[in-house]
Structure 1
Amino acid sequence: MSDDKKAPGMDQHNADRAAAPQGPAEVAAGAEPVLEPAQLEAIIKALQVDLAALADTNLRIRAEMENLRKRFEREKAETAKYAISKFAQDVVNVGDNFQRAISAVPAGAAERDPALKSFLDGTMLAEREFNSALERHGVVRLDPKGEMFNPKVHNAVMEQENRDVPAGTVLQVFQPGYMIDDRCLKPALVAVAKGGFKVPRAPQEPTAAPGKTGDGPGASGNDPGTGDASGERSSGQG
């Protein structure tokens, strides 16, 4: 049908339809609906709450990652520092055997026997080389004679009456101790003085956590100030 032959009333029908309000389907197909100010404000507040929550979560995650990084660096440094601890605990016994061999030679015997003197000199040289090798790897030998008793690195096996020195002074070292950095590998076995004047003790540091000291027996030491019964018996025998 051509434009000239439109049905009567068609133009009026189209005009009425254009003037009529559009339904929901027609609105969705056309322009976006306009939100009320209250609705916009509610949406903005909800987005602000979500943004604050995300910012807080991000801050917490970054803090946790930083703590993990610091912990990893600390454990890495400790692993590198104490990597040879177990091995060193076994090796230091060799140093004790050197000392026993040297101490077994009677005083003056080496001067009378050239062969014995050569043996003694060689053993002492081997001991020095052994201790130097340990020091190159951070293991230090403790020879605390004349020092004040320290239960963290000394193990008192007996007490001796001596009023010429302060009570608690190490008089004799039966077996040297060993340290690696600030960790005790093996406590020194010592005899301490009693009966002398007392020296005020400086405040001691908190006790090290388990695993921070050597695994050897008596690593914590016996404090002569506690009047240990075994120490009293030993001093009586001395």
Structure 2
Amino acid sequence: MTEETNKNGPDAAAHEAHATEAAEQQAAGADEGATEAQLDPVEALQAENADLRDRFLRLAAEMDNLRRRTDREIKDAKSYAVTSFARDMLSVSDNLRRAIETLPEEARAAADATLTALIEGVEMTERGMLATLERHGVRKIDAEGQKFDPNFHQAMFEVPNPNVPNNTVVQVVQAGYAIGERVLRPAMVGVAKGGPKADAVAEDAAKA
């Protein structure tokens, strides 16, 4: 045997070692396969049940998110469906207000019954229009006396006034309106300039 091995040389020895390793790996694979085949059927069912439960929970979460998103979209559609119409109606309301304001108080005091009835009719029309818009979610933005907020106000000019905090809305040129959580039209305002900062005023009030 030694002579045969010597005759074949190192290549024959390496080949024999490789064949032995391959046989051992094959045997190990066969043992593993036999072990898997012998798994407890109860454990297999439990694993399958856990996988199905995990899939069901993910699907239920996705369906819940879809339901919430759909409900929110439906609510938004109902709330903002009249946005364009409401914005156009505000222009009509503005014209009614301008028509009322063109008459000075002296002229209104001296007006005859016919003109007085006309003025009252225009005012009633304006109030009715604004009340209708309010029923559909359109509300007037309360601006005067508030701190200037670029999300709701549009500054048209500054008013020197050291008696109120800086950036306080002191005059409303055109009323602003919002629908739901959205601004339908920002209020056009004049803001105070030269007064103390609002933070300093708040601190002084807190100390008092």
Identify whether the pair has TM-score above 0.5, normalized to the shorter chain: yes
What secondary structure sits across from 1:88 in the alignment? helix
Q: CA RMSD, aligned part only?
A: 2.3
Question: Partner residue of 1:89?
Answer: 87
What secondary structure sits across from 1:179 in the alignment? strand
Paired amino acid for 1:67: N
Q: Distance in 1 between matches of 2:152 and 2:132?
A: 21
Q: For this pair of structures, how many residues does the alignment match?
A: 166
CA positional deviation for 1:119 = 2.7
CA positional deviation for 1:106 = 2.2
Q: Distance in 2 between matches of 1:168 and 1:120?
A: 36
Q: Distance in 2 between matches of 1:169 and 1:119?
A: 37
After superposition, the Cα gap between the structure-2 partners of 1:45 and 1:104, relative to the gap in structure 1 and judged at 3 Å, is: same
* Mean CA deviation greater in 150-159 or 112-121: 112-121
Question: Partner residue of 1:188?
Answer: 187
CA positional deviation for 1:172 = 1.4
Q: Distance in 2 between matches of 1:57 and 1:192?
A: 59
Paired amino acid for 2:137: G
Question: Partner residue of 1:210?
Answer: none
Question: Partner residue of 1:73?
Answer: 71
Write out per-residue CA displacement over residues 37-93 of structure 1, whole angstroms, 9 at most, x where no aligned residue. Answer: 863316555544433322211111111111111111222222222221222122111
CA positional deviation for 1:116 = 3.8
CA positional deviation for 1:167 = 1.3
Question: Partner residue of 1:100?
Answer: 98
Write out per-residue CA displacement over residues 148-184 of structure 1, whole angstroms, 9 at most, x where no aligned residue. Answer: 2221111111111111211122121111111112221
Residues 1:137 and 2:136 aligned together: yes
Paired amino acid for 1:117: T
Identity of aligned residues (%): 42
Q: Distance in 1 between matches of 2:141 and 2:96?
A: 15
What secondary structure sits across from 1:113 in the alignment? coil
What secondary structure sits across from 2:38 in the alignment? helix
After superposition, the Cα gap between the structure-2 partners of 1:120 and 1:143, relative to the gap in structure 1 and judged at 3 Å, is: farther
**Match runs of 1:25-40 below 5 Å:** 39-40=37-38
- In the superposition, the TM-score normalised over structure 2's length comes to 0.71
Note the residue ranges of structure 1 that are not aligned, 5 or more in a row: 1-35, 202-238
Question: Partner residue of 1:168?
Answer: 167
Equivalent in 49, 52, 68 of residue 51 of structure 1: 49
**Structure number with higher helix proportion:** 2
Write out per-residue CA displacement over residues 11-59 of structure 1, whole angstroms, 9 at most, x where no aligned residue. Answer: xxxxxxxxxxxxxxxxxxxxxxxxx886331655554443332221111
Write out per-residue CA displacement over residues 180-219 of structure 1, whole angstroms, 9 at most, x where no aligned residue. Answer: 1222111111111111111129xxxxxxxxxxxxxxxxxx
Question: Partner residue of 1:111?
Answer: 109
Note the residue ranges of structure 2 that are not aligned, 5 or more in a row: 1-33, 201-208
What secondary structure sits across from 1:108 in the alignment? helix
Residues 1:154 and 2:153 aligned together: yes
* Mean CA deviation greater in 184-193 or 142-151: 142-151
Q: Distance in 1 between matches of 2:36 and 2:66?
A: 45
* Mean CA deviation greater in 78-87 or 112-121: 112-121
Q: Which runs of 4+ in 1 moved over 6 A?
A: none
